[in-house]
Amino acid sequence: MILERRQTHYFAAIAMAIVLPLLFAASLIWRPNYAMTSGAADELFARAGYVTETAESIASERIKLGVYTFTADAVQVSLSETAIELTSVFNLRIPDPLLYWAPGKDAPEALGDDAILLGGLSGRSRRRFVLPDEAKSGGQLVLFSQGSSTVIGAGPLPDSLKP
């Protein structure tokens, strides 16, 4: 009885050693190709603030918010609307980074009630933010971590980027 089982397992192992690599190779060859994204997703990315089309830069500055450095470009979105496009120089290694605009000349230690949420940031993706009308008088860009509920850094809005 034991000899019969051993022979069965022996031949089953040989069959699997031959058939399984062939099945694996066949599954890789005949797998379907899916497009990563289609043009239909561009509207969703644009609504979330990711830059899907290029715009001519009016001004460009490097700004530092805490330990993170950003390349900021002022772009003309429409005849009456100017926005800033931010790209992080390094990957953001903070949980749920958000960008706020806060009035005042001094960098805030905590997020005040008068701060206006501009949007979320992620990695090194280029993001477009429309500044509020109050930003014409100046103010601070505030990098806030929603995951740790702390202000990571703040810096003044450069004059060349004001709307």
Q: How does pLDDT run across 66-117, given as a tens digit for each residue?
A: 888 888 888 877 777 778 888 888 888 888 889 898 888 887 888 888 888 8
DSSP state of 131: P
Instruction: Tell me what the pLDDT averaged over the chain comes to.
Output: 83
Locate the domains of the chain by residue range. Answer: 55-161
pLDDT of 38 above 80: no
pLDDT band at 9 (very low <50, low <70, confident <90, very high): very high
Q: May I ask the CATH architecture of the domain 55-161?
A: Sandwich (2.60)
Least confident range from 10-14, 33-37, 104-108, 129-133: namely 33-37
Cα–Cα dist 53/73, whole Å: 14
Least confident range from 49-53, 63-67, 138-142, 146-150: namely 49-53
CA distances from 147 to 6, 28, 99, 111, 151 (A): 58, 40, 13, 14, 11
Indicate yes or no: pTM above 0.75.
no
Least confident range from 30-39, 85-94, 129-138: namely 30-39
